[in-house]
Amino acid sequence: MEKIYTALAAHSNWWSDNPLSVSRLDPKLRTLVCTKGSLTTALVSLSDGNFAVNLMRQRITLPYFHEQKKQVCSLSQAAMIREVELKIHGEAVVYARSIIPLSLVSKGRNGLANLGRTPLGHLLFSDGRIRVSKRDFMQDTFDQQLVTARRTPYDYQGSQILVSEFFLPALNKYLKDY
């Protein structure tokens, strides 16, 4: 999966949020992908409580160029990049990549530097002081499997966190009632 995750993160062909781009999304995933609320909360509901976060990597490095452009930050500016798998019943259903400015990490009191297995969504949505900027969407075939994704900039404490969430094919079996 590591190879696929790298390809997903590097993918730079995203669509702006508009009715046409939303209509192009996989109909089974459309409601979940377009939800304005916490994805974590939705996944916990789908999992009957059997939900977990697998922290794969958290490091300070340069985001991809397309991420820097979307985040509207200075080019070649390092950030904390956090990559996780969101799992239902032990199976990865979402790969998430978050770009967190170092200015937010260095504040320390907000908990961003030490999230571990805590979902980023818990912190952002429980705080109540976030604003969601215009989302992008993507849908493409990787390793012969269709992957749908959303990329959301969150304005938080005077900076912007960019979260890309890639909905993996394994998620489809849990969407019966969503």
CATH number, position 128: 3.40.1410.10
How far apart, in whole angstroms, are the C-alpha atoms of residue 22 and residue 156? 25
Does residue 73 surpass a pLDDT of 90? Answer: no
Count of domains forming the chain: 1
Determine the pLDDT at residue 51: 96
Cα-based distances in Å from 49 to 46, 63, 121, 132: 8, 33, 16, 26
Instruction: Give the domain extent around 51.
Output: 2-174
How far apart, in whole angstroms, are the C-alpha atoms of residue 134 and residue 131? 10
Please, which pLDDT band fits residue 16 given cuts at 50, 70 and 90?
very high
Percent of the chain residues past pLDDT 70, beyond the cut = 92
pLDDT tens readout for residues 131-157: 777 899 999 998 898 999 999 998 888
Mean pLDDT of 119-125: 77
Determine the pLDDT at residue 178: 54
